[in-house]
A = this chain, B = another copy of it.
Amino acid sequence: MAYAEILDALSDPTRRAIVEALRNTPLPVGTLAQQFPISRPAISQHLKVLSDAGLVAADPQGTRRVYRLQPDGLATLREYLDTLWDDALAAYAREAQRQSTKGPFDA
């Protein structure tokens, strides 16, 4: 049930923007914060949430902490969505079947 943490992390627009910013290249906190209208500590707090969810990871380089995207969190979420997807399709097909067995003039 770790996907709860991941969905919660990705529900915030700023955190999604951070993920988007790290999509191409890893970045230290300060550089990342410059791209946003909020303070640097706020970015740090968001990064903690993303890190706890397994969506990003930090590589310490001297006094800097270079954050990068981490596939782990995304993998967990994808797996969950896949099972949900299967059930949704099955329910969908079941409903279609139920409708058709009633005959075309029952609707």
Chain B residues in 8 Å Cβ range of A25: 91
Which applies to chain A's interface (DSSP): helix, strand, loop or mixed? helix
B26–A95 contact, CB under 8 A? yes
Contact with B along A4-15 (1 / 0, CB 8 A): 100110110100
Q: Judging by beta carbons under 8 Å apart, are B7 and A87 in contact?
A: no
Known interface pairs A8-B11, A87-B24. Does A68 touch B81 (Cβ–Cβ under 8 Å)? no
Does A92 lie at the interface of the complex (its beta carbon under 8 Å from any beta carbon of B)? yes
| List of B residues within 8 angstroms of A7 by Cβ | 7, 10-11, 16
Q: Which residues of B contact A70 (CB under 8 A)?
A: 88, 92
- Which chain B residue has the least Cβ–Cβ distance from A98? B26
